[in-house]
C-alpha cells in the first residue's frame, strides 16, 4: 500500500509513514501528558523541602538510637553472663576448699593408721619384711609424697587477642589455641619414657591408674579438674630427663604446634621438686600368699614390677592419647 505525501514529489509506503511518526514522537503520549501536568504544578516551597530533610534526619537518629540500645542490651547480657560465670567459679572454689579440707582429714587419718601399722609390724622380722615390700609398692603406686630434683614443664593456652570485641567477637574460639588433654598426655608419657620416677600435674600426683581426660572445657586429672596453665613436675635426674624428653617425636611435634598457634610450652630443670601423695587405690580383690613365700613376692595387680622398662611409644603409656597434629605449611 502506498500513499501520496504532499510536497514529497512522489508516493510513500505506509511503513515509511509509520517510521516518520515514530521518529517525530519520541515519547509515549501518556508520558507527554504527565510531563505537561508536572510543568503546570507549582514547585514545592522552601518549607516543604526543609520538612522533608527534617524527616530524613529524624529517621536516621531513630535508627542510630535503636542500634545503640541494641548494642547496650547485648553488652549488658554479656556482662550478666560473666557475673554468673564468676559466681559459679566462686561456688566451685568453695566446694574445692571443702573437698581439700576433707582430703586433708583423710590424709591425717591415713597417717595415723600407717603409724599404728608400722608400730605393730616392726616388732617382728616378718613384719619388717612386709613393711619393706609395702614401702616399695607404695612408691610404685604413688601413694607417698616424694621430694627431689627433676624437670618442670609448663603448658598454657594462647593469650586472647586484646582487640577482640566482647559482644561482636568470634562466638567460637579456635580450639587449636587451647591446650588439650592429649597434649598433656603426650608430655606425661614422654616424661615416663625419659625416666621420671614420679609425676604430678598442678599438684595432682599421677599413679598407674590415673586418667587425663577432657570434660567440657576442663581437664580432669584423676577425676579432679586442673586449670590453665598446666605445670607438670617430674622427679628424676634433670640432665637425663631433659635430653631424653626433647628427643621424643611427639614432643617435637607439640613444640612446633605451640609456635604456630601461640601456645606456651616451657620446660626447665629444678634442683628440688615436692610432689604430694596420690590417691590410695581402692582395694577390690586380695590373694592369699602361699606358705613359705617371702613377703612381697606376689606382684600387685596394676603395678609395674621393679626393673621393667616403660614402653618406647609415648602413646602406649597409662594415660595414652593422640598428639596434636602438626599444622600444614601455607602454600
> pLDDT digit string (tens) for 132-145?
888 888 777 777 88
Q: Is the pLDDT of residue 301 over 50?
A: no
Q: Does some domain include residue 71?
A: no
Q: Are 236 and 151 a contacting pair, CB within 8 Å?
A: yes
Mean pLDDT for 222-229 is 85
Q: What is the pLDDT of residue 141?
A: 78
**Among 16-30, 51-65, 170-184, which is the least confidently predicted range?**
16-30
Displacement of CA 242 from its chain's centroid (Å)? 27
Pair 262, 158: CB distance under 8 Å: yes
Domain of residue 258: give its range: 146-158+175-277+304-331
Q: With respect to residue 191, please indicate whether it lies within any of the assigned structural domains.
A: yes
Q: Is 36 among the domain residues?
A: no
Q: Burial level of 117, CB count in 10 A (0-12/13-18/19+)?
A: middle
Residue that wins the pLDDT comparison between 211 and 322 = 211
pLDDT at 15 > cutoff 60:
no
The overall average pLDDT reported for the chain is 75
| Residues of the chain above pLDDT 90, percent | 18
- Residues 113 and 120: their CA atoms lie apart, in Å, by 11
In a domain, 44, yes or no: no
Give the containing element (helix H, strand E) for 90. helix 46-121
Q: Tell me: pLDDT of 25 over 70.
A: no
Residue, of 112 and 284, whose pLDDT is higher: 112
Asked which of 6-15, 266-275, 300-309 is least confident by mean pLDDT, the reply is 300-309
105 within some domain: no
- Looking at residue 211, which CATH number applies to its domain? 3.30.70.1880
User: What is the model's pLDDT at position 45?
Assistant: 57
User: Residue 68: pLDDT above 60?
Assistant: yes
Q: Residue 295 falls within a domain, yes or no?
A: no
Higher-pLDDT residue of 272, 287: 272
Please tell me the predicted confidence (pLDDT) of residue 293. 60
- How many domains does one find in the chain? 1
Q: Given this model, what pLDDT does residue 314 score?
A: 39
Q: What is the residue-wise DSSP string for 20-82?
A: HHHHH--S-HHHHHHHHHHHHSPPP-HHHHHHHHHHHHHHHHHHHHHHHHHHHHHHHHHHHHH
Contact 188, 230 (CB under 8 A): no
Cell readout for 262 is 601461640
Find which of 109-118, 168-177, 287-296 is predicted with most confidence, using mean pLDDT.
109-118
**pLDDT score, position 313:** 41
CA dihedral for 76, 77, 78, 83, sign (positive or negative): positive
User: Which string of b and e fits 176-209 if b means at least 16 CB within 10 Å?
Assistant: eebbbbbbbbbbbbbbbbbbbbbbbbbebbbbbe
> pLDDT tier at 265 (50, 70, 90 boundaries)?
very high
Say whether 201 sits in a helix, a strand or coil. strand
Asked whether residue 90 is assigned to any structural domain, the reply reads no
In a domain, 215, yes or no: yes
pLDDT band at 326 (very low <50, low <70, confident <90, very high): very low
Amino acid at each position: 500500500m502506498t500513499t501520496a505525501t504532499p510536497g514529497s514529489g512522489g508516493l510513500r509506503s505506509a511503513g515509511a509513514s509509520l517510521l516518520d511518526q515514530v521518529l517525530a514522537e519520541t515519547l509515549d503520549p501518556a508520558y507527554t501528558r504527565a510531563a505537561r501536568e508536572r510543568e503546570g504544578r507549582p514547585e514545592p516551597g522552601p518549607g516543604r523541602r526543609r520538612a522533608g530533610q527534617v524527616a530524613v534526619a529524624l529517621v536516621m537518629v531513630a535508627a542510630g538510637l535503636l542500634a545503640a540500645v541494641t548494642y547496650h542490651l547485648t553488652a549488658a547480657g554479656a556482662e550478666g553472663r560473666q557475673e554468673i560465670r564468676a559466681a559459679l567459679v566462686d561456688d566451685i572454689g568453695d566446694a574445692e576448699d571443702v573437698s581439700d579440707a576433707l582430703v586433708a582429714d583423710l590424709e591425717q587419718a591415713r597417717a595415723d593408721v600407717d603409724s599404728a601399722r608400722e608400730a605393730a609390724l616392726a616388732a617382728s622380722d616378718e613384719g619388717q619384711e612386709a613393711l619393706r615390700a609395702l614401702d616399695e609398692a607404695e612408691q610404685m603406686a604413688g601413694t607417698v609424697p616424694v621430694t627431689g630434683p627433676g624437670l618442670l614443664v609448663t603448658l598454657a593456652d594462647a593469650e586472647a587477642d586484646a582487640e577482640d570485641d566482647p559482644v561482636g567477637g568470634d562466638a567460637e574460639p579456635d580450639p587449636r589455641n587451647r591446650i588439650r588433654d592429649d597434649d598433656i598426655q603426650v608430655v606425661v608419657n614422654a616424661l615416663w619414657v625419659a625416666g621420671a620416677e614420679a609425676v604430678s600435674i598442678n599438684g595432682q600426683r599421677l599413679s598407674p591408674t590415673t586418667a587425663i581426660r577432657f570434660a567440657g572445657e576442663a581437664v580432669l586429672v584423676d577425676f579432679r579438674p586442673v586449670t590453665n596453665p598446666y605445670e607438670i613436675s617430674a622427679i628424676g635426674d634433670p640432665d637425663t630427663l631433659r635430653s631424653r624428653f626433647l628427643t621424643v617425636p611427639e614432643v617435637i611435634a607439640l613444640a612446633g604446634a605451640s609456635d604456630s598457634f601461640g601456645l606456651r610450652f616451657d620446660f626447665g630443670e629444678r634442683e628440688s621438686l615436692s610432689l604430694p601423695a596420690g590417691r590410695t587405690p581402692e582395694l577390690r580383690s586380695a590373694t592369699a600368699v602361699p606358705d613359705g613365700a617371702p613377703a612381697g613376692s606376689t606382684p600387685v595387680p596394676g603395678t609395674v614390677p621393679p626393673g621393667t622398662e616403660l614402653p618406647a611409644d609415648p602413646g602406649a603409656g597409662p594415660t595414652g592419647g593422640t598428639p596434636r597434629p602438626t599444622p600444614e605449611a601455607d602454600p
